[in-house]
A and B are shown apart, each in its own frame.
Chain A
Amino acid sequence: MKTKFSGILALLLVLVVQLSFAQQKTVTGTVNDDSGLPLPGANVVIKGTNTGTQTDFDGNYSISASVGQTLLFTYVGFGDQEIPVTASNVINVDLVPGAALDQVVITGYSRKNQTTQTSAVVSISASEISELSPTTSVDNLLQGKAAGVQVTAANGKPGQGAFVRIRGTGSLTAGASSPLYLVDGAPIREEDLGGIANEDIENITILKDAATTARYGSRGANGVVVITTKGGKRNNDAQVRISSRTGYSERIAPNYDLMNAEQKLQYEAELNALGVNAAGPLPGVTTLPGSEERQFLLDNQTDWSDLILRNGFIQSNNFSVSGGADKVDYFFSAGHDRNTGIIDQLSGYERTNARLNLNIDAKEWLTIGVNVGYSRSSSDEPRDRNNMQNPFRAMADYNPYETEFVLDENGNVTYDESGNPIYSPTTTSFNVRGALLSEPSVDYNNNLLASATAAVRLSDHFTYNFSAALNGLTTRTDGYSKPGGILDSLIGDADNPGNKLDFGSYLSDMTISNSLSYNLNGEKNNLNILGLYEYNIAEARSYTVRSIGFPSALLSTQSNAAQVTDGSTTRSKLALVSYGLFADYDYDERYLASASARYDASSNFGDDEQYGLFYSVSAGWNIAKENFFDVDAVNDFKLRGAYGTVGNRSGISRYASQGTVGFGSYPGGSSTIPDNIANPLLQWETTTTTNVGLELNMFQNRLRFVTDYFIRDTEDLLFDVPRAAESGIFSVTDNLGKIQNKGLELSLSGDIIRGENLTWTVGGNIILLDTEIVELPDGEDVTPNAFNILYREGSKINEHYLVRYAGVDPATGRPQYLNAEGETVFSDEIDGDTDRVLQGKSTIADKEGGFYSNIRYKGFGLRTDFVFKTGNWINDQVQANLNSDGALIGANQATSAFNYWQNPGDTNVHPSPLYIDEVIASDRFLTKGDYLRLRNVTLSYNFDKAVMDKTFLSSLRIYVQGQNLLTFSDFYGDPEVGISSGETISFADSVAPGELTLYSYPNTKSYQIGVDIGL
């Protein structure tokens, strides 16, 4: 019996008794949106208390309150309203959508309204996500949506993610410039975001400055993206939602033409006539125009891109149920996505996912919850490398007069003894059409994202929170060179045909978080203090096994193999221990202040350098809330500033501070090989951020404007500092150098029309970015793991470092270059190293953003989203190869290659192929990457509630959608360039995404139709 009246309950009773002395009554009413439709699940809270309720399915509510108290009505995506309780027992409310300042901002450790926020944060809600481009990956979706967030699609492969950079490039080490992504508290790698279904996401909050990122201490230096998955609404019938869409994708047609057979043969003959030796053995020379042989080639020509590519098929189905009872809420979902991609013979990407999120009030004082999401994906991978094994390189290089299969003299396909058509070796000796079948490589990912939480309300003011979040990822790659296949016959073991590689990894990342928060919500004073103790451990394991000798191409597991040729496993761990103390205060939402301190220790630093302290202070002033400020048109006029430090520990190995050797094999036994050079002084990379911002809302929030100016100074850069080659080691991981990113962010949106039947909203955002390398080790230049990028003090981050091309000599057609002194010379006077220069041309866009228009007329909606990028430079190697001046005469060329110097006085032409040896690596094809792209256009129709009431459905929306339908760019080819060639520099190793084009999977355009059904 004693427990019945224990602690918390007793306290609540006291509270109730206290309330009962006041003049209490029941207030009822309906909450509608601005068009008069009821809002189910809207929150109604008595301000300054924890007492509240939610509206039912018809928007009705009922609450006990006393006269003099204030009711606070809130609904995600709508502006808050406060109405004092007066004599009336009925309070009806119409909430107005789109008031940015009232959006919920989830910083991971707390939730608050934008109104009281002192930090530069951007929040994207579920409704916006579902309206936006339904891509398979979250990161692609962020492009153009938030000022200061730069997104570069890695490539166009289905399921592939993007490079996201928040406020510039904050580190010079690969993998260290990506933001920290958290899904329900569990960190997730940027390349794994594709495993999360967009339909499951409730909110994405992007934290940009130290006021909030410092709460993530050591990992927040490059911004934090907090992803929260959906929950159900209490006291709400189950809402069933079915979303389905399907469509097709196709390659965005390049803005150049490849030569057809006739043109290529002619080009070969022209070059041979000029004396290009390599053209001699080619059919343009060895067959005569009009001859039978020539006619044979023309009759049997191949359009390789037609043959290798196809229209991709896209399909997505998602089912979810959410709702809640008095003490429980839940969200369940299951989904299936498929995107075959545009390469014929590959099955592309497929993902199946399921999720259950559940919260239960176990006791009056205890709420427990669990969020579990599981996804499995498979991706039939093309070779992303810079040779014929890559279909995109092959289709550019194969000559149009070559054929897929070996033909007999009548032009008929020939067959081998088994009756299979014989693939023609092509001039490259490698037929990618055959290889796509004989060299399958499939990636499988199984991803578990789970978190368990418990909130203990110790008193009205104190809450203890516990959470354990786990991200478990199992990856597997099955790569098979089938016996008798294209590659096997080239480099296989004739006695042991076939070659199978199984590679897999298990990554687990566990975060255990304990926090104690103190909440004081007074009439005017609001204070929240949170103390945190957190522990994070990441573990990685991997295995590799390779075998040769397969009796049949149909068998692919290594249990069938004759001989194991390679086998190994690896394991590593990384630990982080953190203490934090965060405080937020506001006075009447007018004066705002926050401060944070976080003390982190990470296992990958030197013994005495593991701990780092990161802190922030910030303040805000909403002038519009001042009595003296009497401008009716202005709803909010908030100034804010933040200053703080954040750390970074990624981009280095997990044992970078320790001196180690590894072991390999050598005839006779083990072999000892130096592995890592010790650096006991290795410590945190630190970024200091200064931010000032202004938020302005006018005309009943119809006009919304946010601007921020920031400076990010990063020092003690984590760096593999190169050592003299003669030392015999390449580099030592160290802290050296300084960089700076600064910029201005502008974001503006407005409801041009806000009528009963017609609304029209437009908005846009832009970042103006400036980067600088301030200081490098010993002031010496550093060459990162990129193609032609150099880091030099005073230059921008990721500037191209190339010899300057100076056009052709109009008199002779010889290519000219500029030497370091700027004199125009020929190639013999150019030194390929010392005549390279930095020209301020970086791979990083200095202006980037997006804009959109959203029109609703009755049930119709038309949403268009544009993204743009300008100021970045791309070294277009694909263009160089297609206009190679004869150097690659054996491969196909673009028709623009005909435009070479022929007569004295010719300008704006390619060099004469006579000077084939004088074409050297230069900035000749270094091109502006500027583009404006219609990322998304969606036309939708939402059936009227009156109509739906006559059916068994509660809502129905149908839409057609197009992605990437229009592109405005002068770039030769597709200007969205991320990965150049995935096997040369992988996603994880990229320090300069978008530096170079090198035949990675191109971006696609797509057309889809879809339906969203509510039951």
Chain B
Amino acid sequence: MKNIISKISICLLTLGAIVSCEDNLEQVPYDAFGTENAFATAADFENAIRGVYSALTLDGHYGSGDGGSMLSAPDVLTDNVTLAQAGRGTKAYLHRYDYDGNATLTTMYSNNYSLIYRANQLLSFATGFEGDNKANVVAEAKALRALAHFNLVTFWGKIPTQSADANSSLGVAYVFEADPNIEPARNTVGEVYDFIVTDLTEAVANINETNDDGRMNRDAVNILLSRVYLYMGEWQKAANAAGAVTATVATRDNFTGIWADENQDGLVFFIPNATPILGNQIGVTWSQGPLTSIIPEYAVSSELFDLYSNNDIRKTAYIATATNSFGDYNAIIKLFGRAGQNNGEVDYKIFRASEAKLNRAEALYRLGQEGPALTALNAVRSQRYDTAPGSETGSALEAAIFLERRLEFAFEYQHFFDIKRRGLGIERPSTGEFADGSGTPSERLNLPAGSFLFQLPFPQTALDTNPNLVQNTGYSN
């Protein structure tokens, strides 16, 4: 019997030894970090602000999302491009205004709020942090929060100058807290723009004059602020903010090289995009493959192509002839790739110095200061053409400012808003996608001024998850 007892004892000991396995119920992740541990030191906040910036590179934001993003939507919605039948049909629903609550810029909507969550998380932890870099990172977070809300409200809300009722109409929810449980209602357009101005004004005051590549600086915030004021019709403030920008317009000699990342002339805010740090092939926004056998998503519309004169450096910097088995295209090469490449891996270029001049030109024109307006306009034109710039006045000057804006920022996140904020309609040429004008014209050739389609429908999932979110006029609930 003694032996049985000893055997049982041994077995029980074995059993007992394994009881310590209960310690293993306390598991912490290896690939992530407890949130409260991640916002303590100055370095933590540098990491955190870079985390906010990295939300700009998400697919639906300044990335190449097939459903449309900042890179594509503001041009796909307009007369700047024509759908190429040989492509994959990406963003085509936007091009024909056939919005679908399950697809319409849903990723852009959620990506912008992802950025806002990250910014708010940083701002909330920053209240208990007193490091040297606090003022700068807080300013950056506010500037980014403003940028994201601005991108949202320009698509989903009206623009203040668009119509008389714009400021009192509903914009988007301006979110100030990182809280998973909020279900905010929409603020009015007026409120949203006021919040944006507040965030940007605080940012301008505290942000560093220069920051590392991939981060905003004072010039970048001022450019954004001047654009916001322009959209608000605050001409003097727009002119002032634009005037505060110190960066100079890229020279004609440097201009082509900017798009292959050979120089950064005139770039005020850009995100270096190279392996192994980012290496995103954002050029698939417009096409895939070499110019000799291209799979184009969109081609430059014949209307826009004809607006570029032959001595305009942008004509060759932005556009190249490409071909495939169907025919020749005027292909968009702004994101095509670095020298010798067609992989679409280029830096994200978000703010350029020329915008300050064009914002200022427009604002000054509105203020009746035609002379200074022309000077600002010609600061850009003198670096784009090899002929002497014009000296327009009156409505010819106004037309010249808007023409230059369209030419300078084609495929660069602005054209749709430049039409929308002036309450205009969209008229597309009835030519096809090929360079000679043949091919298949866009299915919808116009979007009349005042159409509700200028304000995008909120994604169905957003309506489903937030009972306080009201759909835009014109769309059924």
State the A residues within 8 Å of B (CB). 3, 6-8, 277-278, 280-281, 387, 425, 427, 429, 456, 458-459, 464, 466, 489-495, 512, 514, 516, 533, 535, 537, 548, 563-567, 570-575, 577, 601-604, 610, 654-655, 658-678, 722-730, 732, 780-781, 783, 831-834, 890, 917
CB distance from A96 to the nearest CB of B (A): 42
Which A residues lie within 8 Å of B47 (CB)?
Answer: 663, 669-672
Complex: A669 Cα to B277 Cα, angstroms: 9
Complex: A567 Cα to B30 Cα, angstroms: 16
Complex: A573 Cα to B114 Cα, angstroms: 28
| Of the residues B213, B326, B465, contact of A667 by C-beta under 8 Å | B213
Complex: A460 Cα to B86 Cα, angstroms: 80
CB distance from A682 to the nearest CB of B (A): 13
B1 contacts the other chain (CB 8 A): yes
Beta-carbon contacts under 8 Å, B435-472 to A: 439-441, 443, 459-462, 464-466, 469
Complex: A722 Cα to B27 Cα, angstroms: 25
Contact between B288 and A666 (Cβ–Cβ < 8 Å)? no
B251 contacts the other chain (CB 8 A): no
Which B residues lie within 8 Å of A280 (CB)?
Answer: 439-440
Given contacts A491-B289, A574-B27, A726-B469, whether A456 and B7 have CB atoms under 8 Å apart is: yes
Given contacts A429-B86, A671-B47, whether A723 and B181 have CB atoms under 8 Å apart is: yes
Contact between A491 and B343 (Cβ–Cβ < 8 Å)? yes
Contact between A570 and B30 (Cβ–Cβ < 8 Å)? yes
Contact between B51 and A672 (Cβ–Cβ < 8 Å)? yes
- Name the segment of B256-264, B268-276, B366-374 touching the other chain: B268-276
Given contacts A672-B51, A832-B100, whether A890 and B85 have CB atoms under 8 Å apart is: yes
Which B residues lie within 8 Å of A659 (CB)?
Answer: 34-36
B388 contacts the other chain (CB 8 A): no
Chain A proximity mask over B420-441: 1 for CB below 8 Å, otherwise 0: 0000000000000000000111
Which A residues lie within 8 Å of B464 (CB)?
Answer: 722, 780-781, 783
Contact between A727 and B180 (Cβ–Cβ < 8 Å)? yes
Contact between A667 and B271 (Cβ–Cβ < 8 Å)? yes
Residue of A nearest to B273 (CB): A667
Contact between A7 and B24 (Cβ–Cβ < 8 Å)? no
Complex: A906 Cα to B351 Cα, angstroms: 58
Residue of B nearest to A490 (CB): B289
| Of the residues A570, A675, A729, contact of B180 by C-beta under 8 Å | A729
Contact between A571 and B293 (Cβ–Cβ < 8 Å)? no
Given contacts A666-B53, A725-B462, A780-B464, whether A677 and B212 have CB atoms under 8 Å apart is: no
B165 contacts the other chain (CB 8 A): no
Given contacts A512-B18, A566-B275, whether A662 and B32 have CB atoms under 8 Å apart is: yes
Contact between B117 and A728 (Cβ–Cβ < 8 Å)? yes
Which A residues lie within 8 Å of B180 (CB)?
Answer: 677, 723, 727, 729, 732
B80 contacts the other chain (CB 8 A): no
Contact between A725 and B461 (Cβ–Cβ < 8 Å)? yes
Complex: A663 Cα to B37 Cα, angstroms: 13
Query: What is the interface size of chain B, counting residues whose CB is below 8 A from a CB of the partner?
Result: 109
Known: A601-B22, A662-B32, A725-B461. 14 other contacts (CB 8 A): A8-B4, A281-B326, A494-B340, A537-B24, A565-B275, A577-B21, A668-B215, A672-B51, A723-B181, A725-B459, A726-B183, A728-B115, A833-B100, A917-B98
Which A residues lie within 8 Å of B15 (CB)?
Answer: 514, 533
Residue of A nearest to B106 (CB): A725
Beta-carbon contacts under 8 Å, B305-341 to A: 324-327, 340-341
Beta-carbon contacts under 8 Å, B199-255 to A: 212-215
CB distance from B301 to the nearest CB of A (A): 16
Complex: A281 Cα to B326 Cα, angstroms: 7
- Name the segment of B278-286, B379-387, B389-397 touching the other chain: B278-286
Which B residues lie within 8 Å of A494 (CB)?
Answer: 340-343
| Of the residues B50, B345, B439, contact of A666 by C-beta under 8 Å | B50
Which B residues lie within 8 Å of A676 (CB)?
Answer: 32
Contact between B295 and A722 (Cβ–Cβ < 8 Å)? no
The residue among A429, A727, A729, A890 with the most chain B CB atoms within 10 A of its own CB is A727
Which A residues lie within 8 Å of B48 (CB)?
Answer: 672
Complex: A737 Cα to B342 Cα, angstroms: 50
Contact between B11 and A464 (Cβ–Cβ < 8 Å)? yes
Which A residues lie within 8 Å of B288 (CB)?
Answer: 429, 490-491
Given contacts A666-B51, A727-B113, whether A603 and B345 have CB atoms under 8 Å apart is: no
CB distance from A367 to the nearest CB of B (A): 14
B127 contacts the other chain (CB 8 A): no
Complex: A566 Cα to B347 Cα, angstroms: 18
Complex: A301 Cα to B102 Cα, angstroms: 40
| Of the residues A425, A572, A672, contact of B293 by C-beta under 8 Å | A425
CB distance from A830 to the nearest CB of B (A): 10
Which B residues lie within 8 Å of A577 (CB)?
Answer: 21-22, 24-25
CB distance from B46 to the nearest CB of A (A): 7
Complex: A878 Cα to B290 Cα, angstroms: 31
B110 contacts the other chain (CB 8 A): yes
Complex: A489 Cα to B175 Cα, angstroms: 45
Contact between A660 and B26 (Cβ–Cβ < 8 Å)? no
B121 contacts the other chain (CB 8 A): yes
Complex: A8 Cα to B2 Cα, angstroms: 11
Which B residues lie within 8 Å of A781 (CB)?
Answer: 464
CB distance from B84 to the nearest CB of A (A): 11
Contact between A724 and B116 (Cβ–Cβ < 8 Å)? no
Residue of A nearest to B457 (CB): A833
B128 contacts the other chain (CB 8 A): no
| Of the residues A491, A492, A727, A783, contact of B182 by C-beta under 8 Å | A727
B132 contacts the other chain (CB 8 A): no
Contact between A663 and B33 (Cβ–Cβ < 8 Å)? yes
Chain A proximity mask over B167-180: 1 for CB below 8 Å, otherwise 0: 00000110100111
Residue of B nearest to A563 (CB): B275
Complex: A466 Cα to B113 Cα, angstroms: 54
CB distance from A544 to the nearest CB of B (A): 12
Complex: A575 Cα to B20 Cα, angstroms: 12
B190 contacts the other chain (CB 8 A): no
Given contacts A601-B25, A833-B460, whether A7 and B3 have CB atoms under 8 Å apart is: yes
Which B residues lie within 8 Å of A674 (CB)?
Answer: 35, 117-118, 121
Given contacts A671-B50, A831-B476, whether A730 and B25 have CB atoms under 8 Å apart is: no
Which A residues lie within 8 Å of B465 (CB)?
Answer: 722-725, 780
Which A residues lie within 8 Å of B3 (CB)?
Answer: 3, 6-8
Chain A proximity mask over B110-152: 1 for CB below 8 Å, otherwise 0: 1001111110110000000000000000000000000000000
| Of the residues A7, A514, A574, contact of B14 by C-beta under 8 Å | A514
| Of the residues A655, A671, A677, A834, contact of B51 by C-beta under 8 Å | A671
Residue of A nearest to B48 (CB): A672
B109 contacts the other chain (CB 8 A): yes
Contact between A570 and B31 (Cβ–Cβ < 8 Å)? yes
Beta-carbon contacts under 8 Å, B42-77 to A: 44, 46-48, 50-51, 53-54, 57
Shortest beta-carbon contacts, A-B, top 5? A728-B117, A667-B214, A660-B32, A672-B51, A724-B466
Complex: A661 Cα to B33 Cα, angstroms: 5
Chain A proximity mask over B86-99: 1 for CB below 8 Å, otherwise 0: 10100000001010
Which B residues lie within 8 Å of A459 (CB)?
Answer: 4
Which B residues lie within 8 Å of A466 (CB)?
Answer: 11, 14
Complex: A677 Cα to B22 Cα, angstroms: 25
Contact between B341 and A664 (Cβ–Cβ < 8 Å)? no
Contact between A603 and B118 (Cβ–Cβ < 8 Å)? no
Given contacts A570-B31, A571-B30, A833-B101, whether A724 and B182 have CB atoms under 8 Å apart is: yes
Complex: A395 Cα to B12 Cα, angstroms: 65
Residue of A nearest to B11 (CB): A464
Which A residues lie within 8 Å of B96 (CB)?
Answer: 917
Given contacts A429-B324, A563-B275, A655-B29, whether A670 and B459 have CB atoms under 8 Å apart is: no
Complex: A649 Cα to B113 Cα, angstroms: 31
Complex: A724 Cα to B114 Cα, angstroms: 11
| Of the residues A456, A574, A658, contact of B34 by C-beta under 8 Å | A658
Which B residues lie within 8 Å of A724 (CB)?
Answer: 182-184, 462, 465-466, 469
B403 contacts the other chain (CB 8 A): no
Which A residues lie within 8 Å of B399 (CB)?
Answer: none
